[in-house]
């Protein structure tokens, strides 16, 4: 291979310049380095990025393109099936090699294997690199050599292994040149809303791009991580990192986040952060667990891991599904969560569990309905996290919630949003209700409702289901599945 022929770096969910092993490998070769992003909606099928994710992708690519240009390089954009597009760009760039970061979705693995075989035949060096996870899924196994299905022992195994440190910044290279290859314009992909502008809340909440991701990480570790163990379950407080879209799109590597957190923990001046950092690291390993399970059980985005759930007696009701989707269930904490999702493309993790439980257990609607809705609405729509989260709450996945665990939306609201601040923000029609009634407005006295300007059934819906009998119905249905198992 002639080094000066250069390399194409095929970017996917690694939209960053720092701690990117594929890019580092290409730069080390010394020739032209051409960064390529392919919008391949065909290979992913119905799991192609949803509306909110496409919004994020547009802005993250825009920021990355500017960062690459500052260093003399170019970001090439192409749309189409990756199995055709990537070889075409490699030919046009006259590159001798191509590099990418490994991915773990079923279709991603299939495409990458096919391309490696093709490049091998064509005499093009194709290398794949670890950069999306801390631990490759095949490196963490039980003593019997099997994949883990329970999180706690998986967590213990990962902590024993230890995560590799991030790479030095760009291997010391501040500038490079790229081959002259034609590129689509980002606007031509139409990733942003083309009709009604539903992205106002996203613009107010997020600033995609690697530089902003770094600032967000540093701000979290400087402040919120100290109380993270207590506040991460409180949607009324800014207690979480909100780094999930940064990790999903790869604006930050998990290695960089992991070791930055460890460094903060080691800082003698910030010993109060120890507990928070440990809880945060545990959440990072939960993300690893979801990718581990997805890799070993690739059917789970569409089918339950526990096969007996294929015969679960789900109820199909378009009206209740619509009420849940748009935050009109009559349960304020559920509605606040669903409206937060619509407004900013993200939902607090505690509320994801509450809204998920309500869908599958109070309404007995299929978990796949929730999974698909979240997929289109989340800026951090990650196949592993989204799938395992929904299978967890439905009781049909790995390390799943017990079938008898049915979240009570009233007590959950009172416990984790005691003053109703979260509900007031996203369900403003209830903003003037006292905290005593804000999570159960149907029990509020008439004068309290009148004073708050609330008319049940008009300004705010009555509950679409009574939780107590709905819980009993769910327990009976899940109990039958348990016996069948």
Which candidate in 42, 314, 429, 442 is catalytic? 314
Q: Active site includes 286?
A: yes
CA dihedral in degrees (24, 28, 29, 30; nearest 10)?
110
Which candidate in 92, 198, 278, 349 is catalytic? 349
User: The tokens of 71 are what?
Assistant: 């260093």
What 3-state DSSP class applies to 268? helix
DSSP state for residue 482 in the 8-state scheme: H
Cβ atoms of 31 and 120 closer than 8 Å: no
Cβ atoms of 10 and 38 closer than 8 Å: yes
Pairing mode of beta strands 125-129, 97-101: parallel
Nearest to 357 by CA among 384, 331, 378, 376: 331
Nearest to 135 by CA among 109, 156, 107: 156
Q: Active site includes 212?
A: no
How many CB atoms are located within 10 Å of the residue 201 CB? 15
Q: Active site includes 100?
A: no
Which candidate in 100, 373, 390, 437 is catalytic? 390
Return d(Cα 31, Cα 173) in angstroms, integer.
Answer: 12
Q: End-to-end alpha-carbon separation of the chain, Å? A: 57
DSSP state for residue 5 in the 8-state scheme: G
Return d(Cα 96, Cα 471) in angstroms, integer.
Answer: 61
For residue 98, which phi and psi values (nearest 5 degrees)?
A: -140, 140
CA dihedral in degrees (200, 201, 202, 204; nearest 10)?
90
Kindly list the distances between the CA atom of residue 199 and the CA atoms of 190, 209, 268, in Å, as whole numbers in the listed order: 14, 17, 42
The H or E element spanning position 280 is helix 274-296
DSSP of 221-261: HHTGGGGHHHHTT-TTTT-S---HHHHHHTSS-HHHHHHHH
Which candidate in 367, 373, 392, 437 is catalytic? 367
Cβ atoms of 6 and 32 closer than 8 Å: yes
Q: Active site includes 375?
A: no
Q: Active site includes 92?
A: no
Q: Active site includes 283?
A: yes
Sheet holding 33-39, edge to edge: 75-79, 33-39, 7-11, 97-101, 125-129
Contacts of 319 (CB under 8 A, 6+ apart): none
Cβ atoms of 56 and 44 closer than 8 Å: no
Which candidate in 107, 286, 373, 437 is catalytic? 286
Q: Where in the sequence numbering do the catalytic residues fall? A: 283, 286, 314, 349, 367, 390
């Amino acid at each position: 291979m002639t080094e000066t022929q250069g390399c194409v770096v095929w970017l996917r969910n690694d939209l960053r310049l720092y701690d990117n092993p594929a890019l580092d490998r290409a730069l080390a070769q010394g020739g032209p380095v051409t960064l390529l992003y392919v919008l391949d909606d065909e290979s992913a099928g119905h799991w192609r990025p949803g509306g909110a994710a496409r919004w994020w992708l547009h802005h993250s690519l825009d920021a990355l393109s500017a960062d690459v240009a500052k260093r003399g390089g170019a970001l090439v954009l192409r749309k189409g099936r990756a199995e055709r597009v990537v070889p075409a760009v490699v030919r046009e760039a006259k590159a001798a090699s191509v590099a990418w970061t490994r991915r773990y979705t079923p279709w991603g693995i299939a495409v990458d294997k096919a391309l490696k075989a093709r490049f091998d035949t064509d005499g093009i060096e194709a290398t794949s690199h670890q950069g999306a996870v801390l631990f490759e899924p095949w490196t963490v196994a039980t003593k019997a050599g099997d994949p883990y299905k329970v999180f706690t022992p998986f967590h213990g195994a990962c902590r024993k292994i230890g995560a590799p440190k991030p790479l030095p910044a760009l291997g010391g290279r501040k500038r490079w040149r790229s081959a002259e290859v034609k590129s689509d314009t980002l606007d031509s992909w139409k990733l942003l809303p083309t009709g009604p502008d539903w992205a106002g809340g996203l613009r107010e909440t997020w600033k995609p791009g690697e530089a902003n991701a770094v600032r967000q990480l540093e701000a979290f570790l400087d402040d919120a991580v100290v109380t993270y163990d207590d506040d991460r379950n409180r949607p009324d407080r800014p207690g979480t990192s909100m780094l999930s879209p940064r990790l999903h799109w790869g604006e930050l590597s998990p290695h960089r986040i992991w070791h930055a957190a460890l460094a903060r923990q080691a800082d003698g001046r910030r010993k109060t952060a120890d507990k928070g950092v440990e809880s945060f690291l545990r959440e990072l390993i939960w993300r690893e667990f979801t990718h581990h399970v997805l890799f070993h059980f690739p059917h789970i985005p569409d089918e339950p891991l526990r096969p007996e759930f294929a015969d679960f007696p789900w109820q199909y009701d378009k009206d209740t599904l619509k009420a849940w989707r748009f935050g009109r269930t009559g349960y304020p904490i559920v509605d606040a969560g669903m409206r937060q999702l619509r407004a900013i493309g993200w939902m607090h993790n505690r509320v994801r569990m509450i809204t998920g439980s309500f869908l599958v257990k109070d309404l007995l609607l299929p978990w796949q309905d929730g999974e698909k809705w979240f997929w289109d609405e989340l800026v951090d729509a990650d196949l592993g996290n989204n799938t395992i989260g929904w299978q967890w709450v439905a009781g049909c996945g790995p390390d799943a919630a017990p079938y008898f665990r049915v979240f009570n939306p009233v007590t959950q609201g009172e416990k984790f949003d005691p003053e109703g601040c979260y509900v007031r923000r996203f369900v403003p029609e209830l903003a003037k209700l006292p905290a005593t009634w804000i999570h159960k407005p149907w029990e509020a006295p008439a004068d309290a409702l009148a004073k708050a300007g609330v008319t049940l059934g008009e300004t705010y819906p009555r509950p679409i289901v009574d939780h107590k009998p709905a819980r009993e119905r769910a327990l009976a249905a899940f109990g039958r599945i348990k016996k069948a198992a």
